[in-house]
Amino acid sequence: MSGMAIEYDPATINCKETCINGCVLGDHCPNLQHLATTRKFMAETSIERMLQIAAERFLPPEERSQPPQS
């Protein structure tokens, strides 16, 4: 049955399970608005800051630095 395309419903797709190897919906993805935000963050944030954010994830809230400004 190779060559048969599976059609997914953007309203009911579970991206966490279905898109593990990349988005299957392309331009119909319901989460495209997050792509621009993510790309901007990646382009404007140093790797050192990303590592700091990751490390702070495990600290109590009162010990974390201020969240990045958007």
Cα gap 68→45, rounded to integer Å:
9
pLDDT digit string (tens) for the chain, length 70 residues: 455 667 888 889 898 899 899 889 888 888 888 888 988 999 999 999 999 999 998 988 888 886 655 4
Domain ranges of the chain: 30-63
The reported pTM is: 0.53
Task: Judge contact between 18 and 6, C-beta under 8 A.
Answer: no
Gap between the terminal Cα atoms of the chain: 47
So what's the pLDDT on residue 4?
62
